[in-house]
Structure 1
């Protein structure tokens, strides 16, 4: 049984009428999640900072140093070896010794790694260094 061209067109129009609301809903959901989603900076190494009860705003620093739990260093978005890290930090600090420097260290990192970073910054002449922590919920 062959359908006429007019019946084919009416069936296609019927299918379009049923799909159009679904397409609208999908686009509205897409826009909702784009607007409602939290966009945050992706850290070059996996870091979970220690918790703190102190309230305070963390200012955006032009130079951010990351220290992962396994002792890897990152300067900005670049993961570096120990020697390359020391050279890069020294060069970055020498360009502007008064710039704010933020250290984001994992809570499980060996403290000697953080001390090494602080000593490198001190020897390079850095004067404004801040250690980043996460706000802990009140007990």
Structure 2
């Protein structure tokens, strides 16, 4: 008398649930991943705790609330910003660029100054802040 199985086939592992789990994990990671093309500017930003007057000479760029620009005290159109910064860079090659933006200035105008500074060849860009006292 034989008890048990009568067939001589070997047991098989069903891979369908494993494949389903792998596909679900793949979909989860594809959906939750962030694909961003962010360009990073190498800037040395002064911390707000050290805000105040510095003894180091700078080339000053002001951004007005209306989005206008002033380089070294002279009004400059947005199209001439890079040329003006290149002239300042040629005149003062060792100076850093200091951006003084009004708190109501648009973010895009400040980014335009950073782009113009990179195009003009400034290696160091500081952002002027004031202390919270």
Q: TM-score, normalised by structure 2?
A: 0.57
Q: CA deviation at 1:96?
A: 4.1
Per-residue CA deviations over 1:62-94 (Å, capped at 9, x if unaligned) read 411000010010011111111222211122124
Quick check: which has more Rg, 1 or 2?
2
Q: Contact conserved, 1:61 with 1:101, CA < 8 A, in 2? A: no
**CA distance, structure 1, for counterparts of residue 124 and residue 52 of structure 2:** 15
Residue 115 (structure 1) aligned with residue 108 (structure 2): no
Structure holding more helix per residue: 1
Residue 61 (structure 1) aligned with residue 57 (structure 2): yes
Q: TM-score, normalised by structure 1?
A: 0.54
1:134 to 105, 130, 133: 130
Paired residue secondary structure (1:136):
coil
Q: CA deviation at 1:98?
A: 3.3
Gaps (5+ residues) in structure 2?
1-46
Q: CA deviation at 1:113?
A: 0.8
Q: CA deviation at 1:134?
A: 1.2
Query: What is residue 80 of structure 1 aligned with on the other side?
Result: 76
Gaps (5+ residues) in structure 1?
1-51
Per-residue CA deviations over 1:6-44 (Å, capped at 9, x if unaligned) read xxxxxxxxxxxxxxxxxxxxxxxxxxxxxxxxxxxxxxx
Residue 101 (structure 1) aligned with residue 93 (structure 2): no
Q: Contact conserved, 1:55 with 1:135, CA < 8 A, in 2? A: yes
CA-based RMSD of the aligned residues comes to: 1.9
